[in-house]
Amino acid sequence: MSENTITFEIDGVEVQGAPGQTIMQAADAAGIYIPRLCAFEGLPPHGSCRICTVKVNGRFQSSCTQPVAEGIIVENDTEEILEFRRNLVDMLFVEGNHFCMFCEKSGNCELQALAYRLGITAPKYPFMFPANRTVDASHKDIFIDHNRCILCARCIRASRDLDGKNVFQFVGRGPEKHIAVNARARLVDTEVDVTDKAVEVCPVGAILRKHVGYAIPVGKRKYDHAPIGSDIEAQKH
């Protein structure tokens, strides 16, 4: 065992990581899926959605930000944590206006796929039906539907760190918090481009390329046949 290997445990399974890795990164490499929404490979961790919360030596931690450490005991796939995640996903659904039945992201949506994986058939919390969510369709190739935004900040980080543009940022607080663009009002006034990573990384149907719609038939969408996380679990040795 090299001195650069850190050995720890996830749900009783011995896992090895490297110094500087997060628990999520080490779990991914070991073929253990930890559900997530704001985390995205290639983007710095944000730790905001809390879906990837695990218990580390009995304490709740977000696995996308928590580094691995020798001998830690991580709980991931336990009923307590699953219920915690269900509640979070549930709240994300009721907090926005998510109408999967006609959303073009259906079948490719990480929020929807996560709900299916967690066994959520209908929200248990009352719908809030926020009325302050708008659609910005001013750009010829891209549109933003704030009804579906879950404030994961992937677009903010991708625009800043990968596209070098800083097109998106958060404004407002509490229920008023939302994604805004770095222009006076509309997406068309920014330097965003349809090929930007920021457009690609949205986990839900909030930032979409125009005129694509339902081009992928039912049956060929990303999560039509295997639940979210299956690609990671397929890495299991």
Residue ranges binding another protein (CB under 8 A) = 101-102, 104, 135, 137-138, 143, 210-220
Closest CB 226 distance from another protein, rounded Å: 18
Buried b (16+ CB within 10 A) or exposed e, 113-152: bbbebbebeebeeeeeeeeeeeebebbebbbbbbbbbbbb
Q: Positive or negative, the Cα torsion across 95, 96, 97, 99?
A: negative
Nearer to another protein, 143 or 223 (CB): 143
DSSP class of residue 217 equals: P
Closest CB 73 distance from another protein, rounded Å: 44
**Farthest CA pair distance, the chain:** 57
Closest CB 187 distance from another protein, rounded Å: 10
Nearer to another protein, 71 or 217 (CB): 217
Nearer to another protein, 29 or 216 (CB): 216
Closest CB 186 distance from another protein, rounded Å: 9
Nearer to another protein, 62 or 97 (CB): 97
Closest CB 199 distance from another protein, rounded Å: 15
Instruction: Give the integer Cα–Cα distance in Å for 23 and 66.
Output: 6
The strand order across the sheet containing 142-145 reads 135-136, 142-145, 207-209
Yes or no: say if 88 and 50 are a contact pair by the CB < 8 Å rule.
yes
Nearer to another protein, 1 or 218 (CB): 218
Nearer to another protein, 186 or 236 (CB): 186
Residue type, 42: G
Q: Burial, 50: exposed, middle or buried (Cβ in 10 Å; 0-12, 13-18, 19+)?
A: middle
Instruction: Give the integer Cα–Cα distance in Å for 26 and 76.
Output: 13
Closest CB 105 distance from another protein, rounded Å: 11
Distance from the Cα of residue 136 to its chain's centroid = 22
Closest CB 129 distance from another protein, rounded Å: 12
Nearer to another protein, 2 or 121 (CB): 121
Which tokens sit at 152? 């994961």
